[in-house]
C-alpha cells in the first residue's frame, strides 16, 4: 500500500480565499491526497468577508489543520515528510517573510522547511499592482525553485462564471502538484 500524497496548504490574509476553498474541495475529492492546513488570522476574516464561510466549514475539507502560531506542529519539522506546499492566496507579507527566512508563524516556518528540504512549493500571489519589492521577493523565491502561479484568468475556455475562472486556477495548481484533474477547460488547439 502506497502512502498518501501529503500537501501543506497555507491560507494567508490576501484577498482570494475562494482559490484556497476551491483547491481544498478538489483535493478532498482525491482519497490519495492528505491535506495539512494553516489559516492565518486575516484569512479567517476573509473567509467571512469574501466567502461567508466559517472556519469549521473550511476544516470539513481538511485532513489536518493547525493554529497559525503552533511552531511545534508536525509540519514545522523537516523530519515530517510532505510532498509539497501551496500558499493560496499568498499575501506579500508572507512572500516577504519566506524570501527573508523570517519564520514568525507556522505558514512561514512550513515554507522555510519546504525550501530547506528542497520540496515542491507553490505560491499563488494575490496583489496588484506589484511593486519592485514584491517582484524582487517573488524572483528570489523563483530562483530557489518555488513555482509562482498567480491567479490570472484564461479566456480561451470561454468562462461564463467566476467559478469557471477559479476552476482554471485550481487546475493549474493541481497540474503542478501532479494530481490528475480536468476541472478548468484545457486548451485543445486552435480551430481553423
Residue 170 marked in a binding site: no
Residue 128 marked in a binding site: no
Q: What's the CA gap between 192 and 88, in Å, rounded?
A: 37
Residue 14 marked in a binding site: yes
Q: How far is CA 6 from CA 30, 150, 188, in A?
A: 12, 22, 31
Q: Maximum distance among all alpha carbons in the chain?
A: 58
Residue 40 marked in a binding site: yes
Residue 131 marked in a binding site: no
Residue 66 marked in a binding site: no
In b/e form, how buried is each residue of 138-164, taking b as 16+ CB within 10 angstroms? Answer: beebeeeebbebbbeebeebebeeeeb
For 43, the 3-state DSSP assignment is helix
11 touches 105 (CB < 8 A): no
Residue 79 marked in a binding site: no
Residue 126 marked in a binding site: yes
Residue 91 marked in a binding site: yes
First to last CA, the chain: 48
- Give the annotated binding-site residues for dimethylallyl phosphate: 156, 172
- Give the annotated binding-site residues: 13-15, 40, 91-94, 126, 156, 172
- Give the annotated binding-site residues for FMN: 13-15, 40, 91-94, 126
Amino acid at each position: 500500500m502506497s502512502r498518501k500524497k501529503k500537501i501543506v496548504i497555507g491560507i494567508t490574509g490576501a484577498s482570494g480565499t475562494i482559490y484556497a476553498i476551491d483547491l481544498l474541495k478538489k483535493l478532498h475529492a482525491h482519497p490519495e491526497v492528505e491535506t495539512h492546513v494553516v489559516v492565518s488570522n486575516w484569512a479567517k476574516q476573509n473567509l467571512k468577508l469574501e466567502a461567508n464561510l466559517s472556519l469549521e466549514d473550511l476544516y470539513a475539507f481538511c485532513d489536518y489543520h493547525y493554529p497559525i502560531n503552533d511552531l511545534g506542529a508536525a509540519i514545522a519539522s523537516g523530519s515530517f515528510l510532505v510532498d509539497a506546499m501551496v500558499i493560496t492566496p499568498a499575501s506579500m507579507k508572507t512572500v516577504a517573510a519566506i524570501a527573508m527566512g523570517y519564520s514568525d508563524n507556522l505558514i512561514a516556518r512550513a515554507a522555510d522547511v519546504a525550501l530547506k528540504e528542497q520540496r515542491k512549493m507553490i505560491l499563488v500571489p494575490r496583489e496588484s499592482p506589484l511593486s519592485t519589492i514584491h517582484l524582487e521577493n517573488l524572483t528570489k523565491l523563483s530562483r530557489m525553485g518555488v513555482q509562482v502561479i498567480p491567479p490570472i484568468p484564461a479566456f480561451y475556455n470561454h468562462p461564463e462564471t467566476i467559478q469557471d475562472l477559479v476552476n482554471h486556477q485550481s487546475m493549474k495548481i493541481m497540474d503542478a502538484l501532479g494530481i490528475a484533474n480536468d476541472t478548468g477547460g484545457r486548451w485543445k488547439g486552435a480551430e481553423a
